[in-house]
Amino acid sequence: QVQLVESGGGLVQPGGSLRLSCAASGGIFSILAMGWYRQAPGKERDMVATITRSLSTKYADSVKGRFTISRDNAKNTLYLQMNSLKPEDTAVYYCNTFPPGADFWGKGTLVTVSS
């Protein structure tokens, strides 16, 4: 069983940066493809970025060139570096496996981009 805990969210001004972290437990993190997802108010949850165990990455068009997903298998941690943040990036951000496992959703971390 995988347990995931997101952290690092907060309030940031447009153009600012944040780095999200996702701590994984369960002992199998290093062999899993992982992803970051987000859910904005009143909208469905969408994929933001994914990373395979061989470090191949993919991004949603809306975040390409601004966000970077990475992982540290020694620390069982997934990261999302977010730069040049826009108000439309405001959402609750979640990590999960890729594809997402229904039983693995955590509480997420709220990112608010506002002046």
Segment 54-65, tens digit of pLDDT: 999 999 999 999
Q: Tell me how far apart the alpha carbons of residues 74 and 55 are, in angstroms, rounded to a whole number.
A: 14
Q: Tell me how far apart the alpha carbons of residues 28 and 79 are, in angstroms, rounded to a whole number.
A: 17
Q: Tell me how far apart the alpha carbons of residues 20 and 9 are, in angstroms, rounded to a whole number.
A: 6
Say if residues 101 and 44 touch (Cβ distance below 8 Å): no
Segment 27-53, tens digit of pLDDT: 788 888 999 999 999 999 999 999 999
Antiparallel, parallel or unpaired: β 77-82 and 18-25:
antiparallel
